[in-house]
Amino acid sequence: MFRAACLALMMPLTAQAEEIGKIGVDWVGNDIVVEAVQDPKVGGVTCHLAYFDRSVIDRLSKGNWFEDPSNSAIECSQTGPIDLTRIERGPKGENVFSEGRSLIFKSLRVKRIYDEANQVLVYLAHGNQITDGSAKMAISTVPVPVEAQTP
């Protein structure tokens, strides 16, 4: 427990998600969850993230308790003034949001990459797993207004 708390304190700052919708997709309780995630370093950008949430009934009936699909969708838009002074630059991007998606070792992440040459913020939603990566991903872009561009 102490070790987990220490690791949590060392994690980089990531945004908190606010659930804004939940749509039931079948009789066993599986849902599509829609969350609003505000970029904690940029400000003025809100991403809406949708993902499949497996129910306990589905997990028990199929016998694969730990499996969770990596499917997700993301759309981001400018919702206020954009400030780029606090972001990390570079091709690896920066974590904006991370949420556990299974009982162990799998998470849904949103990364931000600043395409400085084209003046666009790129947001990538993807599954992250210790052993097997997933090719499932979703991408959204937000143009950076001229007044927010840094020299």
Side-by-side strand order, sheet with 94-100: 94-100, 106-115, 120-129, 137-143
CA–CA gap between residue 33 and residue 20 (Å, rounded)? 8
Domain count for the chain, please give it.
1
Whole-model pTM above 0.85? Answer: no
Give the residue numbers spanning the domain of 144.
2-148
Q: What letters, b where the CB count within 10 A reaches 16 and e where it falls short, cover 71-99?
A: bbbbbbebeeebebeebeeeeebbbbbbb
pLDDT of the chain, 151 residues: tens digit per residue: 333 333 333 344 567 889 999 999 988 878 899 999 999 999 899 999 998 887 667 667 766 666 666 688 999 999 999 999 999 999 999 999 888 766 566 778 899 999 999 999 999 998 876 566 667 889 999 999 977 766 5
Q: How many CB atoms lie within 10 A of CB 142?
A: 22
Burial of residue 35 (CB within 10 Å: 0-12, 13-18, 19+) is buried
| Cα–chain center distance at 149 | 24
Bridge partners, 76 (sequence order): 47
Contact predicate 11/40, CB 8 Å? no
